Amino acid sequence: MSNVIEVNSEQFATEVEQHTGKVLVDFYAPWCGPCKMISPIVDQISTEFDTLKVVKVNADNAQELMAKFGIRGIPTLLLIENGELINTKVGAASLSQVKEFVS
């Protein structure tokens, strides 16, 4: 069972920027092959890290967020803590790489 929440641009401020604690944000697109590869890993991370909130953003519908964070390629993972961007990872990654990224 996944704990991933899909958010749009309007929900981003409430769900991510105003959240207290760490949030893993997965920018993806339904047509993106590497995004499909990383999706089960993101789902697994959401169940293994109780203190981590995990959200997905469809990049096709969030051009303003893409511009705000300077995202040029997907998948892109952002790690945001208490509203501040603390880390970015671009491209597909293994489970161990994503675990290291969020810890």
Q: Which long-range contacts (CB under 8 A, 24 or more apart) does 42-46 make?
A: 42/4, 42/77, 42/98, 43/2, 43/4, 44/95, 45/95, 45/98, 45/99, 45/102, 46/2, 46/3, 46/4
Which of these is catalytic: 16, 35, 42, 65?
35
3 included as an active-site residue: no
32 included as an active-site residue: yes
Which of these is catalytic: 16, 24, 25, 32?
32
Active site residues: 32, 35
